[in-house]
Structure 1
């Protein structure tokens, strides 16, 4: 039947570039084209009436029958070997990869299957080469990645070393800068100190010398009042110089850490009365000190002499920098932990631009430069109070006065 229509099929088969194999329901080859003959290495005569199995590798024979029967039941065009590789077998026994499409045919009541076969050896070779190339590329990428990773690690290490070196250089520069700054500050302090000594010592010493010379002239009994006046001048000037020297000694002890504090328990009223008594001798005409008299129950465990020094400094400053007929107020409050002292005056106040430097050693505000003073008292007071766990602060307005506040623990640690 199929051979009777051979001329028609031959025309069709030879027009197709793929290999064409036609088998009957018994898997006998009944037709082929030149492409399939060249592909498998058989002549047309060798292929016709041969079993299809001659074109299939022996390892696939066992399953081929079942696949063919399944196809004949459904009789639908489809590709062979979905999800798996297919191979053909040449006459010389070589195996090669193929793609095959199955197409059922009905001719005069008989069923045939036409198989389109493509040799994909070149494609598979290219795929294999591509796979090998990809594998090699992945390997190179992995090697490059490892190399880059090592380079990154080395760079991180170098960066860390560089950062450490930069940090060391910055630290060294900061140390040099700080040393230069301290040296500059020291030179400025030396200049201020020499200026202070020349001014603050020279003036009292001149007064002492003048009074001493005048004393020798007042030899008569009725001149005792004049002698007493000059003796008092000499005494006051010596007392002033002694206080300056004590301040210098305090600075030296504070800087060298040789300051030893003597902690005792004492009544606050005792310290306040002592401060007020000594300050009364410095009052100008019409000046008055208001201080609390209801503090007999207040006591502290601190360095009594340091507290007296701090309060005396603030009260004496309030008197010195206030005019006649003004009032100095001392207010004291105490809770379970702290005691607060407030010293208020109505004096010349501190200029706003000078307030940031008021606790600096040897600093004096521009509006008190003509008033006798050393500029070290507040610096010493602040250092002592901080060593004892306390603080000192202030509020001030020029030409209206100042309020200095000391906060000190009731019991020093």
Structure 2
């Protein structure tokens, strides 16, 4: 079979179970040259489908129902071609009511829309059959008075009214208030009402969105209007949802900070968001239709071409890139883009969502430049400070030797002590500046190691001879942590020496280690002057000291170094302090399993 089509958009059938389910008459098809062919129904169905159809018809025949039988089938009219057909029918009593058989129709699904324009072509004896069995709502209306004369079962099913509730009522009872005055004009007109959409009210108060078609017919010797309502509620819902999404998407695009473009496979710009005009200085029409490559910095163009070829060859769905785009004034902006590839009827395309990161990259480059300058300054300053300090120290030692040799040491002790104190202060400041500079320039190497914090603290106190009270560790498992030994030594030493320096009344600071859950904590408590509340927020900044420690020597760099070293080791540092009551500093580490 090749290129066969059903001769009519509607055909009729009978089925008698007592005759082994024979269908009659044959279905007529038309070939390429207008030759007619007659085939039995089973000729177009797979055997299992045909047997299933007969079983369903048998069950329907013996079921107590007045609803029509409706089934959608696929007719295979040639090797790889199918046509969708609606098979519908009703029971008919035969042999004086002693037995039943089925009478029905075949309607091509694409023929449903043609049903009303060709309603008068339906053979009279089959009109009620078609009218009752097709899966759409049908009304027969008195053309002069507008009363409902009859309706099919599908009306009852979809509108929830019974026939008795509808027959005799004016059809306008079903129309929404908004549509009533418009629909009345169309439904009573003599000409065809086709493809008009209205809202119909159901019995439960809900609405259906329907397409209405109508035509005048001769029914039982009188002219009536037959109206078909095709339920399009799902279509209307989908259209409303699509319209809502389109509005939301447009608002999103118009208010988005992203720069959005649609580019085809030839790199031509098909669409772009309006914010490009402000960023690049070009008008919309100056960019649309142009090659995207035209605006890319020459250094980035080969990279962009290679990346796109790779994306196509490896079928990437999305990817990222960062390129420089030329503005109308000749300057360049840097765009970081997320690219999504897709296909439509016009071919392969890509949507790019871009952000202008020019300011960010310039800030990063400036920061790198400043870090480089800072590192160079620290190196030069450290060298320049160390050289005179070394000379200063050498001459002090020589002066000390000469004075002692000549026996005049007692006269210059005060002077020498002052020089030594200043020397120590300058050395500390120089080392502090060097450490802060290296930290800020990322020149400090961190070498994490597993450390028993109690053992580490004990050895440090013994080595430095710190006059502190070491609290006994009471944990059940060793307080193992991961930290850089050099940095940790610097941090703890700084905190302990501060505690010793600021302690009054000769009360030694207390140091100890605690462990709770996954956290191991080192603490140092002093009974000194404390940190005033107004100074606590800035206490870790460089060259910052408490407002109540003017009588204590210091550079204001110690806690700044401590904070930077803690950050390098991912150690949390905190404190509690009250002016005149002392201070407790805490270092919190993530415990390492024993």
Length-normalised TM-score, structure 1: 0.49
Structure with higher helix content: 1
Structure with higher strand content: 2
Greater relative contact order: 1 or 2 (C-alpha under 8 angstroms, separation 6 or more)?
Answer: 1
Length-normalised TM-score, structure 2: 0.36
Higher alpha-carbon Rg: 1
